[in-house]
């Protein structure tokens, strides 16, 4: 299954970025007339699919959780959500402190204006993003609590259909969408103006990821009353594997082996939390996306989102990170609905977010994987203080990092 974390797709996105930017520097107005029209259509297709992604993945995830609602699973999922939410809030706080001091000029100061579309095809979504999220939450809870086998199978089939649409429609057009968007940015003249900011964004979020890992392992040490260095010092091979592969699934065997080497983690907890964490714990990706959307908002729209807007975004982003296993594109694709619905991003903002996120995707994945060890340490303190924990079995893992 195609994933935004796969090297091939990242290379396609980067190729689209580079080729689009180079063509944008030399394109004339006639060419750009067609470019903005095609980009609009591709964006309409992507945004049409967004509510379907929400319903097709969030609902089955809630149903599965209800059917497997053991105490330790609920606590583990809550920990993953808390970590993602905490990372998002930390990134938001850091963004308000740091981003205003970056050399960012508004995109409204660009040298040229994009021409009008020569043709326009609007494809409105079936329902709004918030309607989709509400529908997913209510139906998921309803089906889980009533234990309706028919509806469970129906939403499981819907998940397969939506997964096919993402794999065969959304993912293949993303590189073209990104390329055409960067072509527009280069034509306007804003791309070269903001290139240093893009580089700074990537460097800052990598530093932020290490800070958040320090926080997680510090909490793990306090809760478990064990030395967290006995866990994270074994994680270097897993971190480097994640950086090289950009894939939680490919890193999972290495991560398991690294966690098993820790003398303070039980084998049972390792074999439960590490595969589960690869599915539901995306603290590094969430931290990154939060900082990026704030910076892009300032670049493209001239202002940072309000505090209330960012808090709502963080709360919802944590839900999407935990509740959308199997979504190709992970955090970004799963959360496009709230990026557009809550933050008000247009097609250019979405394309810029996808492209810049891809530049650091390997480090975000590495942060996610390494953070799983901290969650395992916390669970040791909560459920295995006496070291006598019985056998557990984690839900099947489907990567979405």
Is 4-384 CATH 1.10.3860? yes
Q: How does DSSP assign 149-162, residue by residue?
A: HHHHHHHHHHHHHH
Q: How far is Cα 318 from Cα 261, in angstroms, rounded to an integer?
A: 30
Kindly provide the b/e burial profile for residues 276-288, where b requires at least 16 CB atoms within 10 angstroms of the residue's own CB: bbbbbbbbbbbbb
Average pLDDT taken over every residue of the chain:
82
Question: pLDDT digit string (tens) for 310-364?
Answer: 999 999 999 888 865 544 456 777 788 889 889 989 888 888 888 888 777 778 8
For residue range 113-141, what is the model confidence (pLDDT) as tens digits? 777 777 788 888 888 777 887 888 788 88
Decide if pLDDT at 108 tops 60.
no
pLDDT band at residue 291 using 50, 70 and 90 as cut-offs: very high
| 120: its two tokens | 């326009």
Q: List, as own/partner pairs, every contact residues 336-339 make where C-beta atoms lie below 8 angstroms and the sequence separation is at least 24, other chains included.
A: 336/46, 336/47, 336/50, 336/53, 337/50, 337/51, 337/53, 337/54, 337/129, 337/132, 337/133, 338/129, 338/133, 338/313, 339/293
- For residue 397, the 8-state DSSP code is P
pLDDT, residue 107, reads 47
Average of per-residue pLDDT across 196-206? 86
Would you say residue 102 has pLDDT above 60?
A: yes
CA neighbor of 262 nearest in space, from 224, 223, 209: 224
Q: What is the mean pLDDT of residues 19-45?
A: 88
- For residue 391, the model assigns a pLDDT of 47
Would the pLDDT of 252 be above 80?
Answer: no
The CA distance from 76 to 165, in Å, is: 30
pLDDT given for residue 364 in this prediction: 87
């Amino acid at each position: 299954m195609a994933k935004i974390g796969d090297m091939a797709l990242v290379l396609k996105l980067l190729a689209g970025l580079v080729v689009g930017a180079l063509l944008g520097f030399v394109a004339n107005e006639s060419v750009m007339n067609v470019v903005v029209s095609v980009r609009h259509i591709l964006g309409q297709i992507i945004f049409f699919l967004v509510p379907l992604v929400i319903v097709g993945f969030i609902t089955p995830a809630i149903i599965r959780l209800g059917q497997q609602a053991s105490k330790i699973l609920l606590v583990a999922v809550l920990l993953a959500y808390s970590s993602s939410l905490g990372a998002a809030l930390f990134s938001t706080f850091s963004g308000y402190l740091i981003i205003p001091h970056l050399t960012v000029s508004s995109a409204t100061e660009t040298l040229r204006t994009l021409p009008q579309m020569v043709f326009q095809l609007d494809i409105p979504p079936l329902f709004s993003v918030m309607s989709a999220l509400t529908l997913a939450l209510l139906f998921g809870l309803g089906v889980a609590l009533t234990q309706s086998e028919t509806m469970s199978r129906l939403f499981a089939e819907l998940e397969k259909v939506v997964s096919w649409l993402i794999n065969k429609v959304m993912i293949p057009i993303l590189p073209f969408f990104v390329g055409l968007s960067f072509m527009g940015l280069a034509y306007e003249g804003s791309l070269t103006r903001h290139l240093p900011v893009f580089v700074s964004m990537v460097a800052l979020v990598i530093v932020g990821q290490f800070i958040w890992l320090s926080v997680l392992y510090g909490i793990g040490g306090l809760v478990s009353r064990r030395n967290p260095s006995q866990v994270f010092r074994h994680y270097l091979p897993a971190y480097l594997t994640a950086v090289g592969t950009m894939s939680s699934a490919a890193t999972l065997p290495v991560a398991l082996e690294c966690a098993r080497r820790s003398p303070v983690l039980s084998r049972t907890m390792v074999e439960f939390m590490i595969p589960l964490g690869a599915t539901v714990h995306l603290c590094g990706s969430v931290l990154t996306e939060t900082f990026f959307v704030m910076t892009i908002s300032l670049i493209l729209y001239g202002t940072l989102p309000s505090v209330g807007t960012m808090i709502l975004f963080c709360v919802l982003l944590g839900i999407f990170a935990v509740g959308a296993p199997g979504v190709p594109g992970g955090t970004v694709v799963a959360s496009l609905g709230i990026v557009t619905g809550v933050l008000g991003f247009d097609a250019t903002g979405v394309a810029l977010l996808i492209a810049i996120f891809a530049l650091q995707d390997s480090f975000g994945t590495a942060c996610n994987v390494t953070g799983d060890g901290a969650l395992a340490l916390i669970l040791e303190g909560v459920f295995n203080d006496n070291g006598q924990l019985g056998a557990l079995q984690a839900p099947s893992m489907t990567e979405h990092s």
